[in-house]
């Protein structure tokens, strides 16, 4: 018991030194991994099942194709340049889903069940993202804000588009991947006369965005111009009245000044002479 008591008073380094002399090297390493994890570097988070990182054409690539994912996975390396999340069950892309990937150039989200994109889904990728594949999903509409500032080539084919003003504005923000324009077809939610038609031939028609390009924005601009025109007309009318009034004042004849008063003695002299 005395020996046990004295042993318990030893410091941890002394205990480790004693164990080092008593245990084989292999057993010592296993023991240190169990009792001393605080001093060890944590291993990087393992990728989800079905995902793997690789070097493809000298670029860091992370593939999660057909991995059964229902959400954007965690554990994607920060130096990833190409990310493949195609053929999964992703239904939405939340705000900032990829903002931790500062060098991401290519993103494949095709063949999912995407029906919603946040306006900030691609936040943080404005300076790097070049290729985006959203084909073969369930997108009927996407927010224009999601693509503002992105210099990307995008594939939007094989989605049930509403073929509305929002889609027309999106196409002004992006470039379509070659050969994908014919795959942008109006879906069941579009106007009955547009269902089943290709969108690009319709994109230049003014009625998609109301009275001219920009729709509501153009209406607002016209109203502003009309208001400014009304104010200018009022100012012009006031200036014209002011000038006319001044001109009339200058044309009026001057009133004859009254003569000096006649003195009484002059009046008496005049009467005597008469």
* DSSP tally for the chain: helices H, then strands E: 6, 9
Sign of CA dihedral 128, 131, 134, 140: positive
Residues of the domain holding 162:
45-205
On whether residue 128 sits in a domain, the answer given is yes
Q: What is the pTM of this model?
A: 0.63
Residue 271 is assigned to a structural domain of this protein: no
Q: How far is CA 184 from CA 143, 146, 196, in A?
A: 16, 18, 10
* CA 192 – CA 163 distance, rounded (Å): 11
The CA distance from 4 to 13, in Å, is: 17
Q: Average the pLDDT over 21-31 and give the result.
A: 45
In this model, does residue 126 exceed pLDDT 50?
A: yes
Contacts of 215 (CB under 8 A, 6+ apart): 165, 209
DSSP 84: E
Decide if 272 is inside a domain: no
pLDDT at 167: 93
Nearest-angstrom CA–CA distance, 236 and 220: 24
- Domain assignment of residue 139, yes or no: yes
221: pLDDT confidence band, cut at 50, 70 and 90? low
Q: How many domains does one find in the chain? A: 1
Angle (CA) 164 173 107, round 5°: 100
Q: pLDDT at position 242, please?
A: 77
User: Does any domain span residue 159?
Assistant: yes
Q: Is the pLDDT of residue 5 over 70?
A: no
Mean pLDDT computed over every residue of the chain? 78
Average pLDDT over residues 14-32: 45
Span 162-217, pLDDT tens digits: 999 899 999 999 999 999 999 999 999 998 999 999 999 988 765 677 654 444 45
The verdict on residue 228 lying in a domain is no
Please give the structure tokens belonging to residue 216.
């509501």
Asked if residue 159 has pLDDT above 90, the reply is yes
- Please give the Cα distance from 98 to 118 (Å, whole number): 12
The answer to whether residue 121 scores a pLDDT higher than 70 is yes
Q: With 50 as the cut, is the pLDDT of residue 84 above it?
A: yes
**Is residue 161 situated within a structural domain?**
yes
Q: What are residue 198's DSSP bridge partners?
A: 185
Give the pLDDT confidence score for residue 244 in this predicted structure. 75
Residue 47 has pLDDT above 60, yes or no: yes
Indicate whether 100 belongs to any domain.
Answer: yes
Q: Write the CATH number for 136.
A: 3.80.10.10
DSSP secondary structure string, 225-244? HHHHHHHHHHHHHHHHHHHH
């Amino acid at each position: 018991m005395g020996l046990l008591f004295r042993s318990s008073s030893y410091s941890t380094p002394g205990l480790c030194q004693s164990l080092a002399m008593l245990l084989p090297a292999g057993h010592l390493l296993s023991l240190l991994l169990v009792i001393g994890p605080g001093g060890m570097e944590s291993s990087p988070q393992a990728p989800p099942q079905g995902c793997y990182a690789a070097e493809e054409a000298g670029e860091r690539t992370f593939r999660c194709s057909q991995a059964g994912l229902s959400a954007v996975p965690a554990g994607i390396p920060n130096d990833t340049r190409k990310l493949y999340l195609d053929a999964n069950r992703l239904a939405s892309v939340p705000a900032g889903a990829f903002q931790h990937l500062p060098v991401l150039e290519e993103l494949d989200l095709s063949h999912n069940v995407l029906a919603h994109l946040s306006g900030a889904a691609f936040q943080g990728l404005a300076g790097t993202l070049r290729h985006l594949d959203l084909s073969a999903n369930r997108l009927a509409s996407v927010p224009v804000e999601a693509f503002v500032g992105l210099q990307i080539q995008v594939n939007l084919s094989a989605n049930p588009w509403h073929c509305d003003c929002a889609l027309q504005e999106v196409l002004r923000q992006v470039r379509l991947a070659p050969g994908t324009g014919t795959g942008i077809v109006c879906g069941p939610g579009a106007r009955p006369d547009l269902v089943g038609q290709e969108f690009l031939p319709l994109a230049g028609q003014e009625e998609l965005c109301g009275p001219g390009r920009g729709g509501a924005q153009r209406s607002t601009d016209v109203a502003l111009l009309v208001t400014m025109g009304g104010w200018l007309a009022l100012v012009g009318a006031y200036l014209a009245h002011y000038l006319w009034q001044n001109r009339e004042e200058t044309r009026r004849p001057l009133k004859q000044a009254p003569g000096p008063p006649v003195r009484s003695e002059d009046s008496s002299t005049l009467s005597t002479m008469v």
